[in-house]
Amino acid sequence: MQFARVVEVYDKIEATTKRLEMTDHLVRLLRDTPLEDLDKVVYLTQGRIHPDYMGIELGLAEKMVLRVVTHATGLDESKVNRMWKDKGDLGLVAEDAISARRQKPLESIPLTVAKVYENLDAIASESGEGSQERKVRLLSDLLGNATPREAKYIVRMVVGKMRLGVADMTIVDALALTFATKADRDRVEQAYNVSSDLGEVARAISTKGLKGLDEIRLKLFRPIRAMLAERLETLEEIFKRMGKVALEYKYDGLRVQAHVSRTKVQLFSRHLENITEQFPEIVEGLRTAIRGRDAIVEGEAVPVDSNTGEFLPFQEVSRRRGRKTDVDRMAKEFPVTLFSFDCLLRDGEDLTPRPYTERRKALEAVVGTGETIRYSTSRVTESVKEAEKFFDEALQAGCEGLMAKALDSPYEAGARGFQWIKFKKEYSAALSDTIDLVVVGAFAGRGKRAGSYGALLMAAYDEEADMFRTTCKLGTGFDDETLRKLPEKLKGARQDRRPARVDSKLEADVWFNPEVVLEVRGAELTVSPVHTAAAGVIRPGAGLAIRFPRFTGRWRDDKGPEDATTVKELLEMYRSQLKRTKASP
Ligand code: ATP
């Protein structure tokens, strides 16, 4: 298929904010796509060339891409640099530069999807000596043959900023509509939740239909999307819903999905990133703890003070990126312990359909414990009294609260339901639980903050509309250094105008693509005419705002924008807060 056809649809998708329209455009594109190009088109639409968990990044340095654009167009370097300064989006620079190109190539060959994909894939996999030159050549080869519009997307892709704004679930919808029916959508989603690979789902459904989806199974070294928890405010409510339950300590750390065989260990974050390199002590621990042939084990990684045995704030490990020597040093200084709580696969058998109790037994059979591997503390009970006591113990141990798990519940990949219910300590006070919000804009700083941002515009995620709606301006909780570095830190997400998926009444000085998630603590939720989260639901013309928001210091790098607190959750919090206020004298 010609790449021009794909680009034509991308332009239309970029121009709309409506999820349904986006889905329609995608369906038309998928219908036109020959089977052999289908997975490629799906990955390109996601802005990548392989599923996330493989960790294959294009991310070419912007300076290098700029050089290739200059070379491919024969324009003056200074002119191209000026365009870069003006536009701030290398894709637009490439588009304009190719339009203004001095000499059209004599024999340009129209690009096909296969060609674009092949070169991008080769760029991503090049490494070692001479790889830079080879990457330059591969990109020049594409740009030499690209139309201006094609160049825009190719360049955005290679610098890792494709950002069409198509959520994974929109692609799921489109695949269902193209190859099955709307009613089959959940089956498509299920296949995605198990495989974390939309390309594979596309291949399966397009060649074998729904039967193909059933063949997608849990597999070692391919992460499954995490099962999530609902929340309730009292233990009584939890028991009313669940009866006899398993309660577990709720650790405040980083969720880790470990895939273990006798010879290899891989760790994945909740966001399905491969984080194996970041936690050598867990890898080592699992290597010796595994008793079976292979296993997929889930747990929460928490930094532990090796002197006192107490938990440390999670921030101590969230900085673990970069050079191996630094990681090794931090692993010694702030080692983490994996509190394992689930077992999804054992000796080749998929345990996800099995009830919780069986999986827990399998967990304790398949991995032993050691210094860095332990089991989550758990207790099965039907007594509120006993649960209260257990809750106090959890808090004393440094945990956030409890997780209640239905004894007969299967592991439902990617689902948030009442099979798992979280219960945290501050629930009785209005909004003292933290929420995770997405940075969508910023306001210029004044006085001491001149040159940086004075406040960030924060949004919650509206799942139904696939939009980000504002809920507060965030200006406190930043230390001086973080404040100074904010513009640099957020630079990658900067946009010239309000991104299509952002809904805001406020006019920010700077807009950001919804990418960065911050943890925020607020005093309460109020109705506000200024913000757009849950607009019109409580009162016409007004949305929900967080009062006295404060940055907790935690960048939720492990969360994608769609994992942020949702508008629906805010509404639930508002309603329960209201109930409490009314009930008190
Ligand atoms: P969520 O993951 O539900 O979107 P979140 O990351 O903000 O939200 P919480 O809402 O506080 O986290 O709680 C859910 C998380 O608690 C899980 O994703 C997991 O990382 C963590 N957790 C800690 N202890 C346990 C446990 N015993 N069982 C399951 N999850 C646990």
H/E stretch holding 439 reads: strand 434-444
User: Which of 366, 395, 424 marks a domain boundary?
Assistant: 424
> Domain for residue 302, yes or no?
yes
Q: What is the CATH number of the domain that holds 474?
A: 2.40.50.140
- Indicate whether 452 and 506 sit together in one domain: yes
* CA terminus-to-terminus distance, the chain: 69
User: Which of 424, 455, 473 marks a domain boundary?
Assistant: 424
Close Cβ partners of 94 (under 8 Å, ≥ 6 residues apart): 65, 69, 143, 148, 151, 152, 154, 155
> Domain for residue 264, yes or no?
yes
The residue to mutate among 224, 249, 251, having the most atoms of ligand 1 within 8 angstroms of its beta carbon, is 251
The residue among 419, 286, 273 whose CA lies nearest residue 363 is 286
Amino acid 427: pLDDT: 36
- Indicate whether 332 and 440 sit together in one domain: no
Tokens 């508002």 belong to 574
Amino acid 308: pLDDT: 64
| Distance from residue 229's CA to the centre of ligand 1 (Å) | 7
Close Cβ partners of 100 (under 8 Å, ≥ 6 residues apart): 73, 75
pTM: 0.77
- Indicate whether 238 and 362 sit together in one domain: yes
Q: Answer yes or no: is pLDDT of 419 > 50.
A: yes
> Domain for residue 492, yes or no?
yes
- Indicate whether 388 and 530 sit together in one domain: no
pLDDT tens-place string over residues 17-57: 888 999 999 999 999 999 999 999 999 999 999 998 998 88
Q: What is the CATH number of the domain that holds 290?
A: 3.30.470.30
- Indicate whether 400 and 538 sit together in one domain: no
Q: Mean of the pLDDT values across residues 340-368?
A: 97
- Indicate whether 414 and 474 sit together in one domain: no
Amino acid 31: pLDDT: 97
> Domain for residue 463, yes or no?
yes
Q: Residue 456 is part of which domain span? A: 435-583
- Indicate whether 345 and 415 sit together in one domain: yes
| Distance from residue 252's CA to the centre of ligand 1 (Å) | 8
CB atoms within 10 A of CB 3: 26
- Give the active site residue among 250, 424, 473, 559: 250
* Cα–Cα distance for residue pair 236/244, rounded to 1 Å: 12
Closest ligand 1 atom, residue 519 Cα: 7
pLDDT tens-place string over residues 291-342: 988 999 999 999 887 666 678 777 767 667 667 888 888 888 788 999 999 9
The response to whether residue 422 sits with its C-beta less than 6 Å from ligand 1 reads yes
Contact 317, 352 (CB under 8 A): no
> Domain for residue 81, yes or no?
no
* Cα–Cα distance for residue pair 192/169, rounded to 1 Å: 9
Q: Answer yes or no: is pLDDT of 584 > 50.
A: no
Give the type of residue at 99: S
Amino acid 307: pLDDT: 65
* Cα–Cα distance for residue pair 520/528, rounded to 1 Å: 18
- Indicate whether 529 and 397 sit together in one domain: no
- Indicate whether 377 and 415 sit together in one domain: yes
> Domain for residue 29, yes or no?
no
The response to whether residue 341 sits with its C-beta less than 6 Å from ligand 1 reads yes
Identify the band that residue 202 occupies on the pLDDT scale cut at 50, 70 and 90: very high
The response to whether residue 519 sits with its C-beta less than 6 Å from ligand 1 reads no
In this structure, which residue's CA is closest to atom 20 in ligand 1? 255
Instruction: Assess whether 361 carries a catalytic annotation.
Output: no
The number of folded domains in the chain is 2
* Cα–Cα distance for residue pair 108/145, rounded to 1 Å: 5
Amino acid 579: pLDDT: 58
pLDDT tens-place string over residues 461-482: 999 999 999 999 998 888 888 8
Q: Residue 6 to residues 47, 114, 485: CA-CA distances in angstroms?
A: 13, 12, 38
- Indicate whether 406 and 443 sit together in one domain: no
> What is the share, in percent, of the chain residues with pLDDT greater than 70?
95
User: Which of 389, 424, 459 marks a domain boundary?
Assistant: 424
> Domain for residue 558, yes or no?
yes
Closest ligand 1 atom, residue 248 Cα: 27
The residue among 201, 175, 163 whose CA lies nearest residue 27 is 175
> Domain for residue 241, yes or no?
yes
- Indicate whether 415 and 448 sit together in one domain: no
In this structure, which residue's CA is closest to atom 16 in ligand 1? 250
- Indicate whether 565 and 448 sit together in one domain: yes
pLDDT tens-place string over residues 478-504: 888 888 889 999 999 999 899 999 999
Amino acid 568: pLDDT: 93
